[in-house]
Structure 1
């Protein structure tokens, strides 16, 4: 009888450990997806920044299309410029990026 109780105890401990590992894996996968989206947003923002610094204008329709392509269909992007600086704003489900550019 003692062997059965020991086996069930070991099985319960294993189940708790497996559950914790599955939870950790899910959180890790979610964090990786968020980091990947942020990296794509940063790449897009730095590309727009380079175009602005080169003297080009940021075409709003083109920026929105690139944001949707890089960050998903619900993503938006806009550039607003004031005296001496521009702000690149990217929004997507679960994240946002505001990137300032001095002119």
Structure 2
């Protein structure tokens, strides 16, 4: 959280070293990209239940579509506050793929 030197390469390593992660707080990591987040998501086969991506300005629908595909059945809490590249496509994927989701923050996202 809020560690600017933590980048996408670190996410890939984190996922490989800690495959049983269930909760991840990446808030404020404005340097991470879709490639890093997707790599992390692919490395956590147990299923994430909580993910905070607030303030991750470089993330796009690619990350959210991967999340819904890989962890849609387990995710319960998702924070996308200030993810300014997230669109309606992400919201639609979340609505269609995340039956257990009970806490969603899409504040300051350009969703119509």
TM-score past 0.5 threshold = no
Normalised by the length of structure 2, the TM-score is 0.28
Structure of higher RCO (CA pairs closer than 8 Å, 6+ residues apart): 2
Q: Could you say which structure has the higher helix fraction?
A: 1
Greater gyration radius: 1
Normalised by the length of structure 1, the TM-score is 0.29
